[in-house]
Amino acid sequence: MTGIAPYTAGMARGLARDHDVQVVTAHPHYPAWQVSEGYGGWRRNEREDGVQLSRVRHLVPSQPTGITRILSEASFAARALAPGVQRPDAIVVVSPALLPVASALALGRRWRVPVGVVVQDLYGKAFSELELMGGRVDRPVHRLESGLLRRAAGVVAIHQRMADAVVRDLAVDAARVSVIPNWAHVQAPQGDRDQRRRELGWDDGRFVVTHAGNMGAKQGLDHLVEAARQAHGQGAPVRFVMIGSGNVRAALEAKSSGLGTVDFMDQLPGDRFMDTLAASDALLLHERPGLKEMCVPSKLTSYFAAGRPVIAATDQASAGAFEVKRSGAGLIAEPGDPRSLLDAVDQLRSSDLDALGASGFEYARTQLSEQAALDRYRSWAGSLLSSGKR
């Protein structure tokens, strides 16, 4: 329900309009890092929306650190080498994770079929920009990612800046790189905004800033807690709300104990989620300082569709900042600087919130169309199939 999963699922459904689609995937476990209730077992086969699903068991670490995440990916990559599906005419693999790309390429050689890679995050950039494992494996990971992507028949990047990095830094032939943006996959809010604010206790006059999604390393949410601490000390009429889960949520809750300016909420079902975003005064994209090219934050598509202003605490050169500026939906704050975030909140409080939100909504409607993205995926899949026939 979060992260890149909705886009992978949407792509599979879109391709199923023209093709027989088989998906090899894990049991649902993210972002809680535990297998969801009702799932489990060595292998489980399902069929949904015309797509055949084969779910396989792999290592799900309760504490997903650098090493345990690599082991988790390696265990899935090993399972993917025996996917339990019919021989396909083409293979599409989504990264991250990176090691299953190697499995897909091995299967492609075995079956003599083309392999395409959809790059949602740049894996090597994640290691360097997040300073994972102290930088000790940055170069090997970079070489591995470059070698794998250069062997693919086609590569999709979800943003032009990411595509530029794939060509420039990973030495992939530009002719084999396509750009297909993620789309606004959620429904527009349907409920009464004022009623939802009353239900949530947000009708006390405070300015509500909501962060939704994973709470992990790349979000840098320690700085958000510090902003809430400063707001609390100043008696500022602001409430920061964090919706979702992740491996640092417990630590964030402990650090914010006693603060009246921050609340936590569990993940919400789709309709309540969008109504809650729409009930906010502003929506927050918060990234760790130093993140520039590794990812395009998927939460922005939901934020724009909610029709509320966006504050992006992110590097000015990041794809997230580019999208917020291009949409006209909000403001950019300095990442890692709680004072800059609070200044942006103050600036928004005197702005036309509805006009900013409307700009983001129109951007989602016209530039982030699901139909357009899926049409491009079907065209891209056709080019993969054609490459396999030459």
Query: Could you give the domains of the chain?
Result: 5-183+369-389 (3.40.50.2000), 193-367 (3.40.50.2000)
Question: Picking from 15-24, 97-106, 133-142, 163-172, which range would have the lowest pLDDT averaged per residue?
Answer: 133-142
pLDDT, mean of residues 301-314: 95
pLDDT of residue 200: 96
Quick one: pLDDT at residue 387?
87
With 70 as the cut, is the pLDDT of residue 129 above it? Answer: no
Percent of the chain with pLDDT over 90: 76
**How many other C-beta atoms are found inside a 10 Å radius of the C-beta of residue 130?**
17
Kindly report the pTM of this predicted structure.
0.82
pLDDT tens digit sequence for 12-22? 999 999 999 99
For residues 54 and 78, is the Cβ–Cβ distance under 8 A? no
Residues constituting the chain = 390
Among candidates 233, 224, 250, which has minimal Cα distance to 334?
224
